[in-house]
């Protein structure tokens, strides 16, 4: 009950006219920032950080959190409309969001994404409110071995759910893992695969560069080729009837949404894991447990709902280790943490005790930010969809400019722009040869995490590989991973076995 | 898409306009003033201790209007700072670039051949020296250095010491401890000081040499215990923690937090930035921060700073040669 009283006080803070305005402003800005490929919440928060001195600290952190939140909603927009994931967390949203847009159902996909984000965000904020303190201990129980097991789990759900051609999926994962080793080795500090001595490769290949290249440029090249005779027009209209019908369909997906929310929150809470594996696992599980798994990847609305609930839930979850342990779970939360330090707030176990006004103000602002984000997002959907009605010849040029600017902006190196061009051509060729691109991109994101935690564990355990199984938490995750890997194989085997028996009867 | 683009552009313009407006009134030094935003290169990635400190400097400069133009932090953390060092080398004569340094300012050019001689750079100001403390988990039951040494001896290679990477500052201190007490521990590298702190409290490693700012939160919550400080004097924030020197072991190590500029920066510009950091070092916020985070304010400029840099480089060369000689893993 004491908690409710504190939350009540928090609402008194977050509902003050200034803070309410700050939330609306932040969410709107975040939405647009997130919707731009190449400009994620990291850039949004970084740009606004110095401006926050004009408001009191609690309002400032609320502003930053609102941008963070808005960007999470916005991420789905470019995934659905352009098929370019603006952040690694939105890759899974392209699987079904993009096909839906191509079928003229972009509006529905965006509504599904917004609603799912709202549900995911809300459920995880409630979890946050109730269990923040005890859950911090769980996050501490995660050492390198557990991290490795969790990433392994994310990978296996992916092999299980990849395209029809398993071999091609595996090949792309391997290619992504190779790309992820470029740059400085964390353990020895030696540069690897820097192509002689190209300084640009020292910092590795970033997710954005690869994603913008293969999804942005590659996709445009492919579309130019396929539509050279008849420029394609995607009829994308949105009516109230459609909206109603859409919401009714989404209403039936409570199982997927609650699963996605819980999964997202717990995975997001673990330092270093974050929203990307969470959204992937949610997608994988939704497909595995669906009655019609074959429709996934071809425009199934559930395939948009699952990752979107999970990534929003995870973004709330990742605030937990930041506030309670002072460990940022993502680059954006690292910036938030920097902001808090600037205002003299010390994140860590004592924050909840020493600064209850601040903490509960922030938590309650997450509720209001969620409401604001879903309303503003739905109101803007017609506008986003309108953009799709632009003639392809115009849209194509705009997207290419966005891709190049978006790739250059974060690092400000021409090196990255050339890489984007190279990946664009590679992406086009891979698409033509029918290789799935998502495994490539996700392996690049998860690869460094996996390699690092694997080697840390081996160093710490002096080469004892069994350590992964001996530790209860990591053993549990490894067992799950094996199950996920074997299950589709068993199912396939039973299907063929049944088919083999059938003619005999 | 067109709409989102214009909106975003408008946002960016509004943001930069506000920045310029907020600092337009600032007047600090007579004479030379920056003509465009000043780039503050950070030798480390986003979110780490060095990054946080650099952004704190930026925020104080902005808030107290110490510069007539905005200061823009740019992370160039690749190659333990190699990326930043190369970048600064290519900016010869530029009056609008400064770089925030840490000890990889000496160690990186020593360990990897990147064609950079730090003697060529223009020293601006040393703001502080960050300190190192040996920490253990509160559940370990270890409360002093003797118990620590006994426990590590008993555990041998099973003793896990966390850090931020071979060749980094904490690994040097770890090597010094190993040499002083004749220990042999397993050194496990993590991505940053915060990550190390969390793994110590979570019981995944047994001890670490962290900056106080990285452990402060856990220390206040009673989850980690400081055993010994590697500083010349006891720290104000930790009056009960003995220094290694007091206990008869001569291990003193500090991490400088300074600013340098490219080779041949115009003298007026050097004067401008020196005055700016002087004002910063006297600001109330900085004073509060240093005492709370157990940082030693150590303002130093000009030739004295260059002499300091060169002495430190020689010291680090000796330490690194020593480490490699042992073939430590």
Q: How far is B293 from chain A (nearest CA, A)?
A: 10
Same fold, B32-130+254-320 and B133-252: yes
CB–CB contact A81 B1 (8 Å): yes
CB–CB contact A387 B4 (8 Å): yes
How far is A319 from A304, CA to CA, in rounded Å? 24
Judged by CB atoms within 8 Å, which residues 396-425 of A form the interface with B? 398-399, 402, 412
What is the per-residue pLDDT for A43? 67
Torsion over CA: A270, A276, A277, A281 (sign):
positive
Judged by CB atoms within 8 Å, which residues 292-351 of A form the interface with B? 321, 325-328, 331, 334-335, 337-338, 341-342, 344, 346-351
HSE-up of A83 (CA within 13 Å, CB side)? Answer: 22
- Give me the mean pLDDT over the A117-127 stretch: 91
CB–CB contact B47 A348 (8 Å): no
Helix axes A356-388, A57-81, angle to 10 degrees: 30
How far is A298 from A227, CA to CA, in rounded Å? 20
Which of A325, A341, A342 is the closest to B198 by Cβ? A325
- Give me the mean pLDDT over the A102-117 stretch: 87
How far is B126 from B105, CA to CA, in rounded Å? 13
Structural tokens at position B248: 């008869």
Across A263-267, A270-274, A327-331, the highest mean pLDDT is recorded for: A263-267
- Give me the mean pLDDT over the A290-294 stretch: 80
Q: How far is B102 from chain A (nearest CA, A)?
A: 16
DSSP H stretches of helix in A82-217: 91-102, 106-140, 144-161, 166-180, 207-211
Environment class of residue A505 by beta-carbon count within 10 Å: exposed (0-12), middle (13-18) or buried (19+)?
Answer: exposed
Give Cα A367 distance to the centre of its chain.
20
Sequence-distant (≥ 6) Cβ neighbours of residue A413 within 8 angstroms: A200
Nearest CA in chain A to B201: A140
- Give me the mean pLDDT over the B2-29 stretch: 44
Show the 3-state SS of A305-372: HHHHHHHHHHHHHCHHHHHHHCCCCCHHHHHHHHHHHHCCCCCCCCHHHHCHHHHHHHHHHHHHHHHH
Nearest to A150 by CA among A378, A454, A413: A454
Q: What residues does each domain of chain B span?
A: 32-130+254-320, 133-252
How far is A358 from A493, CA to CA, in rounded Å? 56
- Secondary structure (3-state) at A244: helix
Chain B residues whose beta carbon lies within 8 Å of the beta carbon of residue A337: 47, 52
- Give me the mean pLDDT over the B263-282 stretch: 94
Chain B residues whose beta carbon lies within 8 Å of the beta carbon of residue A395: 1
How far is A316 from A429, CA to CA, in rounded Å? 38
Residue A163 lies in a domain: no
How far is B78 from B310, CA to CA, in rounded Å? 23
Which of B15, B70, B217 is the closest to A346 by Cβ? B217
Residue A116 lies in a domain: yes
CB–CB contact A271 B195 (8 Å): yes
In a mutational test of the B interface, the residue from A49, A338, A393, A404 whose CB has the highest number of chain B CBs within 10 Å is A338
Strand pairing report for B296-301 and B207-210? unpaired
Place of tokens 């157990």: B294
Between A235 and A159, name the one with better pLDDT.
Answer: A159
Q: How many helices (H) and strands (E) does chain A have?
A: 23, 2
Task: Supply the range of the domain harboring residue A87.
Answer: 2-150+206-411
Cα dist from B33 to A120, A334, B37, B156, B200, whole Å: 51, 33, 11, 58, 47
Number of other CB atoms surrounding residue A89 within 10 Å:
34
What is the per-residue pLDDT for A491? 74
Nearest CA in chain A to B2: A387
Residue A432 lies in a domain: no
- Secondary structure (3-state) at B310: helix
Kindly report which listed range (A321-335, A376-390, B22-36, B269-283) carries the lowest average pLDDT score.
B22-36
Chain B residues whose beta carbon lies within 8 Å of the beta carbon of residue A386: 3
Report phi then psi at A81, rounded to 5: -70, -45
Nearest to A246 by CA among A427, A443, A109: A109
pLDDT bucket at A505, cuts 50 / 70 / 90: very low
Structural tokens at position A162: 């990849």
In a mutational test of the A interface, the residue from B53, B155, B201, B204 whose CB has the highest number of chain A CBs within 10 Å is B204
Chain A residues whose beta carbon lies within 8 Å of the beta carbon of residue B112: 191
- Give me the mean pLDDT over the B171-196 stretch: 89
Q: How far is B244 from chain A (nearest CA, A)?
A: 27
Strand pairing report for B133-137 and B224-229? antiparallel
What is the per-residue pLDDT for B265? 94
Strand pairing report for B122-131 and B224-229? unpaired
pLDDT bucket at A236, cuts 50 / 70 / 90: low
Q: Over the stretch B60-116, which tens digit does the pLDDT of each residue have?
A: 888 788 888 888 888 787 777 888 888 898 889 999 999 999 898 998 888 877 788
Environment class of residue B176 by beta-carbon count within 10 Å: exposed (0-12), middle (13-18) or buried (19+)?
Answer: buried
- Give me the mean pLDDT over the A400-416 stretch: 82
Q: How far is B274 from chain A (nearest CA, A)?
A: 22
Report the percentage of chain B scoring pLDDT > 90.
47
Strand pairing report for B133-137 and B38-42? unpaired
Which of A49, A202, A398 is the closest to B82 by Cβ? A202
pLDDT bucket at B24, cuts 50 / 70 / 90: very low
Kindly report which listed range (A415-424, B15-24, B57-66, B294-303) carries the lowest average pLDDT score.
B15-24
**Interface contact A104, partner B, CB < 8 A:** no
Please, what is the average pLDDT of chain B?
A: 84
Sequence-distant (≥ 6) Cβ neighbours of residue A201 within 8 angstroms: A182, A183, A191, A193, A194, A195, A415
User: For chain A, how many structural domains are there in total?
Assistant: 1
Kindly report which listed range (A24-28, A412-416, B198-202) carries the lowest average pLDDT score.
A412-416
Chain A residues whose beta carbon lies within 8 Å of the beta carbon of residue B191: 186, 452
Which of B59, B79, B186 is the closest to A184 by Cβ? B79
Judged by CB atoms within 8 Å, which residues 62-101 of A form the interface with B? 81-82
Structural tokens at position A77: 């927009």
Q: Over the stretch B223-257, which tens digit does the pLDDT of each residue have?
A: 899 999 999 999 988 999 999 999 999 999 999 99
Between A371 and B113, name the one with better pLDDT.
Answer: A371
How far is A411 from A403, CA to CA, in rounded Å? 14
Kindly report which listed range (A350-359, B32-41, B302-311) carries the lowest average pLDDT score.
A350-359
Residue A434 lies in a domain: no
How far is A76 from B158, CA to CA, in rounded Å? 47
In a mutational test of the B interface, the residue from A388, A456, A459 whose CB has the highest number of chain B CBs within 10 Å is A456
pLDDT bucket at B327, cuts 50 / 70 / 90: very low
HSE-up of A314 (CA within 13 Å, CB side)? Answer: 32
Q: Is A104 within 8 Å of A90 (Cβ atoms)?
A: no
Give Cα B85 distance to the centre of its chain.
15
Strand partners, B260: B99, B123
Report phi then psi at A464, rounded to 5: -80, 100
What is the per-residue pLDDT for B46? 65
Q: Which one-letter DSSP state was computed for residue B242?
A: P
Report the percentage of chain A scoring pLDDT > 90.
10
Nearest CA in chain A to B167: A189
CB–CB contact B8 A39 (8 Å): yes
What is the per-residue pLDDT for B5? 43
Q: Which CATH number fits domain B133-252: 3.40.630.30, 3.20.20.80, 1.10.3720.10, 3.40.190.10?
A: 3.40.190.10
- Give me the mean pLDDT over the A114-143 stretch: 86
Q: How far is A6 from chain B (nearest CA, A)?
A: 21
Residue A258 lies in a domain: yes
Between A344 and A453, name the one with better pLDDT.
Answer: A453
ipTM value greater than 0.85: no
pLDDT of B121 higher than 90: yes
Q: Is A336 within 8 Å of A141 (Cβ atoms)?
A: no
Nearest CA in chain B to A82: B1
Q: How far is A74 from chain B (nearest CA, A)?
A: 11
Instruction: For domain B32-130+254-320, give the CATH number.
Output: 3.40.190.150
Place of tokens 């995944």: B204
A-B contacts (CB, under 8 Å): 166
Structural tokens at position B321: 């040669």
pLDDT bucket at B6, cuts 50 / 70 / 90: very low
Q: Is B32 within 8 Å of B272 (Cβ atoms)?
A: yes
- Give me the mean pLDDT over the B168-186 stretch: 91
CB–CB contact A32 B191 (8 Å): no
Q: How far is A489 from chain B (nearest CA, A)?
A: 36
Residue A103 lies in a domain: yes
Strand partners, B39: B72, B97
CB–CB contact A50 B204 (8 Å): no
- Please enumerate, as own/partner, the contacts of A391-395 that have beta carbons within 8 Å and a separation of 24 or more: A391/A231, A391/A233, A392/A223, A392/A227, A392/A231, A392/A232, A392/A233, A393/A231, A395/B1
Q: Is A119 within 8 Å of A320 (Cβ atoms)?
A: no
Between A258 and A189, name the one with better pLDDT.
Answer: A258
Q: How far is B21 from chain A (nearest CA, A)?
A: 11
Which of B2, B19, B78 is the closest to A184 by Cβ? B78
Q: How far is B225 from chain A (nearest CA, A)?
A: 15
Q: Is B91 within 8 Å of B97 (Cβ atoms)?
A: yes
């Amino acid at each position: 009950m004491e908690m409710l009283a504190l939350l009540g006080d928090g609402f008194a803070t977050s509902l003050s006219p200034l803070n309410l305005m700050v939330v609306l402003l932040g969410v709107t800005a975040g939405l647009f920032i997130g919707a731009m490929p190449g400009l994620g919440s990291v850039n949004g928060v970084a740009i606004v950080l110095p401006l926050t001195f004009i408001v009191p600290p609690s309002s400032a952190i609320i502003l930053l959190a609102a941008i963070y939140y808005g960007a999470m909603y916005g991420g789905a927009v470019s995934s659905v409309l352009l098929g370019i994931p603006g952040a690694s967390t939105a890759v899974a949203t392209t699987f079904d969001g993009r096909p839906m847009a191509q079928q003229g159902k972009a509006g529905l996909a965006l509504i599904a994404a917004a609603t799912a984000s709202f549900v995911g965000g809300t459920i995880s904020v409630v979890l946050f409110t109730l269990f923040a303190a005890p859950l911090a201990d769980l996050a501490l129980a995660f050492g390198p071995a557990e991290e490795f097991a969790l990433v392994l789990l994310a990978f296996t759900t992916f092999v299980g759910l990849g395209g029809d051609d398993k071999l091609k999926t595996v090949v792309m994962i391997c290619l992504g893992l190779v790309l992820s080793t470029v740059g400085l080795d964390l353990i020895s500090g030696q540069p690897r695969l820097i192509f002689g001595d190209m300084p640009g490769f020292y910092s590795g290949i970033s997710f954005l560069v690869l994603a913008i290249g293969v999804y942005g440029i590659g996709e445009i090249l492919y579309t130019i080729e396929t539509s050279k005779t008849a420029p394609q027009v995607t009829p994308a209209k949105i009516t109230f009837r459609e909206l109603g019908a859409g919401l009714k369909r989404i209403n039936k997906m409570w199982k997927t949404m609650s699963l996605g929310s819980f999964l997202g929150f717990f995975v997001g809470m673990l330092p270093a894991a974050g929203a990307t594996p969470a959204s992937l696992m949610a997608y994988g599980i939704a497909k595995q447990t669906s009655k019609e798994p074959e429709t996934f990847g071809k425009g199934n609305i559930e395939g948009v709902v699952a990752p979107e609930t999970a990534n929003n839930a995870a973004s709330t979850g990742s605030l937990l280790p930041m506030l309670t342990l002072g460990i940022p779970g993502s680059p954006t939360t690292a910036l938030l943490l920097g902001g808090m330090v600037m205002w003299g707030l010390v994140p860590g176990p004592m924050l909840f005790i020493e600064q209850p006004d601040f903490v509960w103000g922030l938590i309650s602002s997450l509720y209001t930010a969620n409401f604001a984000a879903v309303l503003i997002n739905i109101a803007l959907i017609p506008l986003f969809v309108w953009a799709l009605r632009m003639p392809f010849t115009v849209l194509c040029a705009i997207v290419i400019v966005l891709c190049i600017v978006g790739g250059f902006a974060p690092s400000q190196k021409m090196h990255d722009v050339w890489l984007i061009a190279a990946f664009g051509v590679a992406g086009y060729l891979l698409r033509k040869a029918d290789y799935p691109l998502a495994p490539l991109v996700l392996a690049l994101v998860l690869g460094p995490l996996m390699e690092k935690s694997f080697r840390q564990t081996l160093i710490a355990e002096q080469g004892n590989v069994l350590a992964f199984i001996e530790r209860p938490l990591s053993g549990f995750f490894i067992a799950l991973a094996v199950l996920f890997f074997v299950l589709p194989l068993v199912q396939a085997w039973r299907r063929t076995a049944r088919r083999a028996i059938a003619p005999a009867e | 898409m067109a709409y989102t683009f214009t909106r975003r552009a408008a946002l960016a313009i509004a943001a930069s306009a506000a920045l310029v407006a907020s600092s337009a009134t600032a007047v600090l030094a007579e004479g030379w003033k920056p003509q465009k935003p000043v780039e503050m290169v950070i030798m480390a990635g986003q979110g780490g201790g060095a990054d946080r400190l650099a952004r704190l400097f930026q925020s104080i400069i902005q808030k107290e209007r110490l510069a007539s133009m905005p200061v823009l932090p740019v992370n160039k953390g690749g190659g333990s700072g190699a990326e930043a060092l190369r970048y600064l080398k290519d900016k010869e004569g530029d009056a609008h670039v400064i770089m925030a340094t840490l000890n990889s300012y000496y160690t990186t050019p020593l360990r990897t051949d990147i064609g950079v001689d730090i003697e060529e750079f223009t020293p601006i100001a040393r703001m502080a020296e960050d300190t190192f403390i040996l920490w253990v988990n509160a559940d370990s039951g270890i409360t002093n250095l003797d118990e620590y040494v006994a426990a590590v001896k008993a555990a041998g290679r099973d003793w896990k010491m966390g850090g931020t990477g071979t060749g980094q500052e904490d690994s040097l201190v770890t090597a010094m401890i190993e040499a002083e007490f004749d220990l042999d521990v397993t050194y496990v590298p993590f991505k940053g000081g915060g990550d190390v702190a969390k793994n110590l409290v979570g019981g995944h490693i047994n001890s670490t040499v962290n900056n106080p700012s990285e452990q402060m939160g856990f220390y206040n919550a009673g989850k980690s215990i400081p055993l010994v400080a590697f500083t010349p004097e006891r720290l104000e924030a930790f009056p009960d923690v003995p220094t290694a020197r007091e206990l008869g072991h001569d291990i003193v190590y500090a991490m400088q937090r300074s600013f340098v500029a490219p080779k041949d920066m115009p003298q007026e510009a050097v004067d401008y930035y020196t005055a700016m950091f002087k004002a910063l070092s006297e600001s109330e916020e900085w004073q509060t921060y240093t005492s709370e985070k157990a940082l030693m304010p150590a303002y130093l400029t000009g030739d004295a700073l260059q002499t300091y840099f060169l002495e430190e480089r020689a010291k680090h060369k000796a330490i690194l040669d020593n480490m490699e000689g042992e073939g430590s893993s």
